[in-house]
Structure 1
Amino acid sequence: MNGNWVRHETIFVGRVQGVGFRATALNIARRYPVVGFVENRPDGSVRLLVEGDPETCRQLAYHISDQMEDFIAERTIETSEATGEFASFDIRE
């Protein structure tokens, strides 16, 4: 983990489950030097939790938002200190 990494949590709300959102997020995330996961939440939203360089994390969230814009009604983003707990980027069930 790089010393200037952050934790970037994005919650996507809308018709984001059952539309290939997590698979799309995984495919996009593999193009960026980030670690973390994407998961469906019980309330019907999708959570994207990534750690990486601040600008890279923002670019990833916007890339996913751009790709899946037809399904997203709302997006919230929170940034905090990276924990270094992830070794890769995965889909969580």
Structure 2
Amino acid sequence: MNNHVFQMNCWFEGHVQGVGFRYQTVSVAKGFDVTGNVRNLVDGRVHLYAEGEQSEVLAFQAEVASELQNYIRGAEIKTDRGPRACQNFRIEQ
């Protein structure tokens, strides 16, 4: 048995910086069994990385997208499996 977890990278675009997006994402993460991080990118997007059980990660991403839908114009998602890389969920600078 391997210890690989489901991993998701999501890039949100729209009016997603300067609106509390990262802090709201961290708040949403507290309701899910996920680890990872969220950070602003220089091109104006927000990058969300989350890992854990597939159902938890996908539900978490869907909740973030739902709660912040007024700011999001689009999202690109890539998923994979790999070793756990994070111990908690936090904002990356």
What is the distance in 2 between the residues matched to 1:73 and 1:82? 29
Length-normalised TM-score, structure 1: 0.93
Indicate yes or no: 2:3 matched with 1:12.
no
Gaps of at least 5 residues in structure 1 are: none
User: Quick one: percent identity of the two aligned structures?
Assistant: 28
Q: Deviations over 1:2-50 (max 9, x none)?
A: 8462111111000000000000000000111111100000100000001
CA drift at 1:85: 1.6
Amino acid at match of 1:40: N
1:21-40 equivalent positions in 2, closer than 5 A: 21-40=21-40
The answer for the alignment partner of 1:63 in structure 2 is: 63
Amino acid at match of 2:21: F
Gaps of at least 5 residues in structure 2 are: none
CA drift at 1:83: 2.3
- Size of the alignment, in residue pairs? 92
Q: Which runs of 4+ in 1 moved over 6 A?
A: none
Q: Decide whether the 8 Å contact of 1:51 with 1:82 is kept in 2.
A: no
Secondary structure of 1:82 counterpart = strand
Amino acid at match of 1:34: V
Secondary structure of 1:69 counterpart = coil
Secondary structure of 2:84 counterpart = coil
Length-normalised TM-score, structure 2: 0.93
Secondary structure of 1:87 counterpart = coil
Q: Deviations over 1:39-85 (max 9, x none)?
A: 00010000000101111111111100000001000011110113212
